[in-house]
Amino acid sequence: MKILVVDDEKLLVRGIKFNLENEGYQVEAAYDGEEGLNLAKTGGFDLIILDLMMPKLSGLEVCMRIREFSMVPIIMLTARTDDMDKIIGFEYGADDYVTKPFNILELKARVRALLRRSTLKSQAEGSLISNGAIAIDCDRRAAFRDGEPVELTGREFDVIELLMKNPGRVYSRESLLNIIWGYDYQGDIRTVDVHVHRLRDKLERNPAEPEYIITKWGVGYYFKG
């Protein structure tokens, strides 16, 4: 799983990163609120560890903005012991709090607990699939980019649903045509390319340099998970 650590204390970040990577997590770091928010928008993280007091944007501000586009679990780090700070943090969308100085074993235990709850919730919801800026609701057949609804045709949704349910798996144009359109479809295979280009226009921030719907040259397409 992928974790983002946002704190301006570089030595502390290094220690957290080292310990979490030893647990098998993939960890990225940011050292101010603005950098952390930008990474949160694009990184597809499973959990964020966020310091309360930071330059450029405070942890509360970053937490509030993240909640505009993502429900990723957030653990706030704070040197304060005032209960009111924690209450405000929870109101802004934090899921848990750890007070500095802390035992790294406690932080790792809270990370495991939050990720476990998040995984169970996702399994219960079942129909929701998200990765970075893109999310789909399979039951409602609805798509979203940065939390905003995106209108897709039925075929476009079928394509993105298949790719997102199987991240990293490369589908040839022929296999996509057979799975989505059916073996008896008589149309041109370039229909697949047209639908992929439309999906990129609607879901990618920069369709010319896609982050998610990737071409495997000479083979086909896959969703970068």
Residue 214: which of 139, 165, 160, 178 has the closest Cα? 160
Find out whether 154 and 140 touch, Cβ atoms under 8 Å.
no
DSSP string, 33-51: HHHHHHHHHHS--SEEEEE
Convert the pLDDT of each residue in 17-27 to its tens digit.
Answer: 999 999 889 99
Long-range contacts at 138-145 (CB < 8 A, ≥ 24 apart): 143/202, 143/203, 145/202, 145/203
Query: pLDDT tens, 71-105?
Result: 789 999 887 666 666 677 677 788 888 888 888 99
Provide the residue-wise pLDDT of the chain in tens; the chain has 225 residues.
889 999 999 999 999 999 999 988 999 999 999 999 988 887 678 899 999 888 888 888 899 888 877 778 999 988 766 666 667 767 778 888 888 888 899 999 989 888 887 766 655 555 788 888 899 988 778 899 988 889 999 899 999 999 998 888 899 998 898 888 876 677 788 899 999 999 999 999 999 999 999 999 988 999 987
Q: What residues have CB less than 8 Å from 142, skipping those under 6 apart?
A: 136, 149
**Distance from C-alpha of 27 to C-alpha of 23, rounded to nearest angstrom:** 10
CB 72 within 8 A of CB 45: yes
The contacts of residue 96 (CB under 8 Å, 6+ apart) are 73, 74, 75, 76, 110, 114
Decide: pTM greater than 0.85: no
Which domains, and CATH codes, for the chain? 2-125 (3.40.50.2300), 129-223 (1.10.10.10)
